[in-house]
């Protein structure tokens, strides 16, 4: 099962006997850009406790079909853990807590892109990759276009402590936080980022 976040609301795509599609048929099989705002209104009118679900025997193909009119982009990033104190690195970007990430450039693979972006956004020189987390998907509007973004996530370690925010990218703060200090992040971030944090906490146990 996959989920795509739209305005922090997850839309699930899967093939599960316990779930039935509850997205209004007017928006299927492809979400029209002209109907995007109406779609947001429709899913917000569903019960807050009700998962928004689209049933499909091929969920990933269904995601591509449903968002066929959106521009697909891929980014990569990761959670960096300091091997000396086990704290993890978070950034404050445009007023929200985030995890360093950025667009995968031409001829770049996700791992290389994630490492480059972390070094650029946080000023870290030495990183060691040690794991992979589940990707996230979210939809947003910017630069006059509608996008669906897939982000590849990895885990890294470093012994460096001194980090510097890349101000030109809207990053105003970088901070090392322990697990019991994460409320500051969880209370002011995006649902997709919470998913990454929860995934990291699960694999780190």
**CATH number of domain containing 169:** 3.90.79.10
46 and 120 belong to one structural domain: no
95 and 167 belong to one structural domain: yes
79 and 117 belong to one structural domain: yes
pLDDT at 47: 80
With b for 16 or more beta-carbon neighbours within 10 A and e for fewer, the 65-100 pattern comes to ebbeebeeeebbbbbbbbeeeebbbbbbbeeebbbb
Torsion region of 9: left, alpha or beta (phi above 0 gives left; psi -120 to 50 gives alpha): beta
93 and 14 belong to one structural domain: no
Report how far residue 163's alpha carbon sits from residue 152's, in angstroms, rounded to the nearest whole number: 23
pTM: 0.94
19 and 102 belong to one structural domain: no
Q: Which range of residues forms the domain containing residue 174?
A: 73-203
Domain total for the chain? Answer: 2
Alpha carbon distances (Å) from 183 to 17, 116, 187: 36, 28, 6
56 and 148 belong to one structural domain: no
pLDDT at 19: 72
Domain boundary among 50, 66, 82: 66
32 and 90 belong to one structural domain: no
pLDDT at 205: 74
Domain boundary among 28, 48, 66: 66
**Half-sphere exposure at residue 98, Cβ-oriented, CA atoms within 13 angstroms:** 20
pLDDT at 48: 74
89 and 44 belong to one structural domain: no
Domain boundary among 44, 66, 88: 66
pLDDT at 20: 78
Bond into 29 cis (ω within 30): yes
39 and 87 belong to one structural domain: no
99 and 159 belong to one structural domain: yes
97 and 196 belong to one structural domain: yes
144 and 56 belong to one structural domain: no
Segment-wise mean pLDDT, segments of 10 residues, the chain, 205 residues: 94 83 92 95 85 92 97 98 96 97 96 97 95 97 94 98 94 96 97 97 88
């Amino acid at each position: 099962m996959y989920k795509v976040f739209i305005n922090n609301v997850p839309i699930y795509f899967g093939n599960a006997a316990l779930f039935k599609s509850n997205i209004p048929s007017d928006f299927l099989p492809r979400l029209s850009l002209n109907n995007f705002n109406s779609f947001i209104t429709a899913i917000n009118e569903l019960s807050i406790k009700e998962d928004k679900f689209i049933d499909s025997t091929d969920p990933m193909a269904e995601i591509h079909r449903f968002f066929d009119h959106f521009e697909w982009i891929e980014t990569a990033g990761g959670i960096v853990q300091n091997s000396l104190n086990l704290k993890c690195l978070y950034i404050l970007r445009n007023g929200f807590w985030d995890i360093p990430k950025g667009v995968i450039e031409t001829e770049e693979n996700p791992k290389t892109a994630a490492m480059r972006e972390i070094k650029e956004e946080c000023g870290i020189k030495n990183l060691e990759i040690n794991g992979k987390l589940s990707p996230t998907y979210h939809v947003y509007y910017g630069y006059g276009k509608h996008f669906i973004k897939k982000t590849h996530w990895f885990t890294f370690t470093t012994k460096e402590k001194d980090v510097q925010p890349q101000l030109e990218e809207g990053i105003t703060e970088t901070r090392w936080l322990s697990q019991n200090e994460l409320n500051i992040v969880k209370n002011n971030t995006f649902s997709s980022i919470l998913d990454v944090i929860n995934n990291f906490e699960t694999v780190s146990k």
